[in-house]
Each structure stands twice: as C-alpha cells, then as structure tokens.
Amino acid sequence: MRFRRQHPLGKYIFDFYCHSAKLAIELDGNYHNRNHQKLLDVERERDIISWGIKVIRFPDEEINTNLEGAIEKIRAEINM
C-alpha cells in the first residue's frame, strides 16, 4: 500500500493517507489533549468519516515507543 505524507483533502491535511485503502493516519502531539483541540478533532473526524474514510489516531509517544505495534494496527485495518 502507498501512503502519502501531509496529504490535503478538502479543508484538511492528513498526516498520512492511503487512497486505495481509504485510510487516514493521524499522529497526535500533546496539544491534542487540550479541550478545545479535542472538540476540533471530533468535528474533523466526523467530516472525514462522512467521506467514507477510516481514521486511525496514534499519540506521538506510541509511535516513539511502540512503532511495531502501530504498524500492526495499520496492517490489521488494511486487511479488514
């Protein structure tokens, strides 16, 4: 599968996007823990899902400490 980095779609830019799997991967830094940002993330995800795109979110620390686990979650989603 081919993923594009910083892929624009509509008014959003996905951290990573795979068109053939209709899968967006978002990497969330600490600012995503702020209440205002959480509300924006919910609205954003609702829009993206309405377009038929699946979203997987990973906290930055998970990528830094368990990259293989994150890759396995992505593979499982693609193989569904």
Q: What is the CATH number of the domain that holds 22?
A: 3.40.960.10
pLDDT value at position 41? 78
Q: What is the spatial distance between Cα 5 and Cα 14, in angstroms, rounded to a whole number?
A: 7
Local structure of 53: helix, strand or coil: coil
Number of domains in the chain: 1
pLDDT of 79 higher than 80: yes
Q: Give this prediction's pTM.
A: 0.82
Model confidence pLDDT, tens digit, residues 12-56:
999 999 999 999 999 977 666 667 667 887 888 899 999 999 999
Pick the closest to residue 30 from 68, 54, 62, 74 (CA basis). Answer: 62
Look up the domain containing 67 and give its range. 4-78
